[in-house]
């Protein structure tokens, strides 16, 4: 397989957490076709665990060598698709992760940048979703739990290695079943 001209997008969704039976972020990713808009999609189901989440996705980045990474995560309290602008270098959990770890006021990367901006066109993404009839908004915080942790870790991995990869993240509301 040469795959020379075909772009690759790594899409990620999370496992259920916090006592839920499903995570809509993975339901979305699972439902996506393997080829979309001329790009080949590679999918990763990410554990809701500090550390392991970053490992799962950065290992997939090194294996797949995508042009773009788009992560999805559940944000129960939100009513629209939230396109995240930024990830900050802090874990401050309200509930333990799926391995029982509870990070409080803990940097994700010691001595790392305070924050990284997502490198996808967030306003164009919101406009495209809105035009398609999907309620969407820009979000200026991805929280301080495993989603922010993952975005920060991925953007740090890309920056530290000077990779030509754009990365973004979308928080999605609960589905009706929840």
Give catalytic residue positions.
84, 147, 171
Encoded tokens for 56: 């799962």
Alpha helices in the chain (DSSP H): 24-31, 52-64, 122-131, 146-160
β-strand pairing of 8-14 with 35-36? unpaired
Give residues with Cβ within 8 angstroms of 118, minimum separation 6: 84, 85, 86, 87, 151, 155, 167, 168, 169
**Which stretch in 105-113, 115-123, 125-133, 142-150 sits in contact with ligand PCA by CB under 6 A?**
142-150
> Does 169 engage in binding with ligand PCA (CB under 6 A)?
no
> Does 71 engage in binding with ligand PCA (CB under 6 A)?
no
**Which stretch in 1-9, 113-121, 129-137, 143-151 sits in contact with ligand PCA by CB under 6 A?**
143-151
Burial category of 5 from C-beta neighbours within 10 Å (exposed 0-12, middle 13-18, buried 19 and up): exposed
**Which stretch in 4-12, 34-42, 141-149, 154-162 sits in contact with ligand PCA by CB under 6 A?**
141-149
> By C-beta, is 125 or 172 nearer to ligand PCA?
172
> By C-beta, is 6 or 141 nearer to ligand PCA?
141
> Does 23 engage in binding with ligand PCA (CB under 6 A)?
yes
Rounded to whole angstroms, the Cα distance separating 120 from 123 reads: 9
Identify any residues that bridge with 168 across adjacent strands, giving them in sequence order.
70
3-state class (DSSP) for residue 98:
coil
Q: Binding to ligand PCA (CB under 6 A): which residues in 85-104?
A: none
> By C-beta, is 16 or 112 nearer to ligand PCA?
16
Q: What is the contact surface with ligand PCA in residues (CB under 6 A)?
A: 14, 17, 23, 25, 48, 73-75, 143, 145-147
């Amino acid at each position: 397989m040469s795959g020379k001209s075909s772009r690759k997008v790594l899409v990620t969704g999370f496992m259920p957490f916090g006592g839920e039976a499903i995570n809509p972020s993975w339901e979305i990713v699972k439902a996506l076709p393997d080829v979309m808009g001329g790009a080949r999609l590679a999918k990763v189901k990410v554990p809701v665990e500090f550390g392991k989440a970053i490992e799962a996705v950065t290992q997939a980045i090194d294996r797949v060598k995508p042009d773009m990474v788009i992560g999805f995560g559940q944000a129960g309290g939100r009513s629209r698709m939230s396109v995240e602008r930024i990830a900050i270098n802090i874990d401050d959990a309200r509930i333990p992760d799926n391995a029982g770890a509870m990070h409080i006021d803990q940097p994700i990367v010691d001595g790392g940048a305070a924050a990284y901006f997502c490198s996808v066109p967030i306003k164009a993404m919101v406009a495209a979703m809105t035009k398609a009839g999907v309620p969407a908004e820009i979000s200026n915080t991805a929280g301080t739990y495993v989603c922010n942790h993952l975005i920060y870790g991925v953007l740090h991995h890309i920056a530290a290695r000077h990779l030509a990869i754009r990365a973004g993240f979308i928080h999605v509301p609960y589905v009706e079943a929840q």
